A and B are shown apart, each in its own frame.
Chain A
Amino acid sequence: MLNRFALLAALGVLVGAAAHAQDTIKIGEINSYKAQPAFLDPYKKGWELAVEEVNAAGGVLGKKLQVISRDDNGNPGDAVRVAEELVSREGVALICGTFLSNTGLAVTDFAKQKKVFFLAAEPLTDKITWQNGNRYTFRLRPNTYMQSAMLVPEAAKLKKKRWVVVYPNYEYGQSAAATFKEMLRKLQPDVEFLPDQATPLGRIEAGAVVQATADAKPDAIFNVLFGADLSKFVREGNTRKLFEGRPVVSLLTGEPEYIEPLKDEAPVGWIVTGYPYYGIQTDEHKKFFLAYFRKYNEYPKLGSVVGYSTIWSIAEGLKKAKSTDTEKLIAAFSGLQVTTPFGKVTYRAIDHQSTMGAYLGKTKLEGQKGVMTDYVYIDGAKVLPSDDEIKRLRAAD
Chain B
Amino acid sequence: MNASSIVLQLLTGLASASALFLVASGLSLIFGVTRIVNFAHGSFYMLGLYGAVALTSAFAAGPLGFWSAVLLAALAVAALGAIVEMLVLRRLYGAPELYQLLATFALVLVIRDAALWAWGPEDLLGPKAPGMRGAIDVLGRPFPSYDVFSIFVGPAVLGALWLLLKRTRWGLLVRAATQDREMVGALGVNQRWLFTSVFALGTFLAALGGALQMPHEPANLNLDLALIGEVFVVVVVGGMGSIGGAFVAAIIVAMVKAFCIAAGTIDVFGAPFPLSKLTLVAEFLVMAVVLVWRPQGLFGKPQGTVRATAAIEPPLRPLDARWRIAGFVALALLALVALLGTSAPYAVVLMIDVLIAVLFAASLHFLIGPSGMHSFGHAAYFGLGAYGAALFFRLGAPMEAALVLAPLIAALGAFVFGWFCVRLSGVYLAMLTLAFAQIVWSVVFQWDAVTGGSNGLVGIWPSAWLTPKPAYYLLVLVCTIAGAGLLVRMLHAPIGLALRGSRDSPLRAAAIGIAVPRLQWIAFVVAGTVAGLAGALFAFGKGTISPETLNVGRSVDGLVMVLLGGVHAVSGPWVGAALFTWLQDTVARQTDYWRALLGVVMLALILVFPLGVAGGIKRLFIREEAT
Task: Show the binding face of A for B, using Cβ within 8 Å.
Answer: 1-3, 6, 33-34, 37-38, 40-41, 70-71, 73-77, 80-81, 84-85, 88-89, 101-102, 105-106, 108-110, 113, 125, 127, 132, 169-171, 174, 194-200, 202-203, 205-209, 211-212, 214-216, 227-228, 231-232, 235-236, 239-241, 257, 260-263, 265
Contact = CB atoms under 8 A, between A and B. Distances in A.
B117 to A, nearest CB: 9
B121 A38 contact: yes
A109 B543 contact: yes
B542 A77 contact: yes
Given A37-B121, A198-B277, A169 B12 contact: no
Given A85-B346, A106-B544, A241 B142 contact: yes
Interface in B313-335: none
B544 A80 contact: yes
A101 B237 CA distance: 35
A215 B3 CA distance: 11
A-B residue pairs, 7 tightest by C-beta = A37-B121, A89-B346, A88-B345, A170-B454, A106-B544, A195-B264, A75-B548
B549 A77 contact: yes
B226 interface: yes
Contacts of A239: 133-135, 142, 144, 146
B280 A208 contact: no
Nearest to A69: B589
Given A169-B446, A174-B453, A235-B216, A81 B544 contact: no
B135 A108 contact: no
User: Would you call the interface of chain A mostly helix, strand, loop, or mixed?
Assistant: helix
A173 to B, nearest CB: 9
A216 B264 contact: yes
A297 B27 CA distance: 43
Contacts of A89: 344-346
Contacts of A33: 592
A260 B218 CA distance: 12
A197 B261 contact: yes
Interface stretch (B60-68, B175-183, B455-463): B455-463
A253 B224 CA distance: 25
B425 interface: no
Contacts of A211: 5, 8-9, 12, 261-262
Given A212-B261, A215-B262, A203 B226 contact: yes
A136 to B, nearest CB: 13
B261 A102 contact: no
B455 A261 contact: no
Contacts of B230: 203
Given A205-B279, A207-B12, A171 B544 contact: no
Contacts of A205: 16, 257-258, 261, 279
Nearest to B143: A240
Given A195-B276, A216-B264, A81 B353 contact: yes
Among A205, A209, A214, A240, residue most surrounded by chain B Cβ atoms (within 10 Å): A205
22 contacts: A37-B116, A75-B553, A77-B538, A80-B542, A85-B346, A102-B454, A102-B455, A102-B456, A105-B544, A109-B459, A174-B453, A203-B279, A205-B279, A208-B13, A211-B262, A215-B5, A232-B217, A235-B125, A235-B215, A239-B142, A240-B142, A261-B125
B617 to A, nearest CB: 28
A76 B545 contact: yes
Contacts of A231: 123, 125, 217-218
Contacts of B445: 170
B274 A6 contact: no
Contacts of B220: 38, 227-228
B555 to A, nearest CB: 13
Interface in B585-600: 585, 588-592, 594-595
B456 A105 contact: yes
B127 to A, nearest CB: 9
B122 interface: yes
Given A37-B221, A77-B549, A205-B279, A3 B458 contact: no
A109 B546 CA distance: 13
Interface of B: 1, 5, 8-9, 12-13, 15-16, 116, 120-125, 128, 133-135, 141-144, 146-147, 215-218, 220-222, 226, 230, 257-258, 261-262, 264-265, 274, 276-277, 279-280, 344-346, 349-350, 353, 445-446, 448, 453-456, 458-459, 461, 538, 542-549, 553, 585, 588-592, 594-595
B123 A228 contact: yes
Nearest to A85: B346
A240 B135 contact: yes
Contacts of A212: 9, 261-262, 264, 276
A34 B587 CA distance: 14
User: Would you call the interface of chain B mostly helix, strand, loop, or mixed?
Assistant: helix
A76 B546 contact: yes
Contacts of A214: 141
A330 to B, nearest CB: 20
A75 B548 CA distance: 6
A109 B544 contact: yes
Nearest to B547: A102
Nearest to B144: A239
Contacts of A80: 542-544
A350 B15 CA distance: 53
Among B13, B280, B446, B454, residue most surrounded by chain A Cβ atoms (within 10 Å): B454
B280 A125 contact: no
B151 to A, nearest CB: 11
Given A207-B12, A215-B5, A231-B123, A108 B543 contact: no
B589 A236 contact: no
Contacts of A174: 448, 453
A2 B553 CA distance: 27
A232 B216 contact: yes
A146 to B, nearest CB: 18
Contacts of A262: 125
A170 to B, nearest CB: 4
Given A76-B456, A77-B549, A205-B261, A228 B217 contact: yes
A207 B144 contact: yes
A37 B115 CA distance: 12
B349 A88 contact: yes
B262 A236 contact: no
Contacts of A195: 264-265, 274, 276
Contacts of A101: 454-455
Nearest to A257: B122
Contacts of A102: 454-456, 544, 546-548
A208 to B, nearest CB: 4
Nearest to A213: B261
A241 to B, nearest CB: 5
B515 to A, nearest CB: 39
A228 B12 contact: no
A209 B68 CA distance: 31
Contact of A38 (B122, B226, B257, B456): B122
A227 B264 contact: no
Contacts of B349: 81, 84-85, 88
A105 B280 contact: no
Contacts of B353: 81
A182 to B, nearest CB: 16
Contacts of A106: 456, 458, 542-544, 546
B123 A261 contact: yes
Contacts of A261: 122-125, 218
B75 to A, nearest CB: 25
A125 B455 contact: yes
A70 B589 contact: yes
A232 B16 CA distance: 13
Nearest to A106: B544
B342 to A, nearest CB: 10
A375 B51 CA distance: 37
A358 to B, nearest CB: 21
A125 B121 CA distance: 24
Contacts of A84: 346, 349
Contacts of A228: 123, 217-218, 220, 222
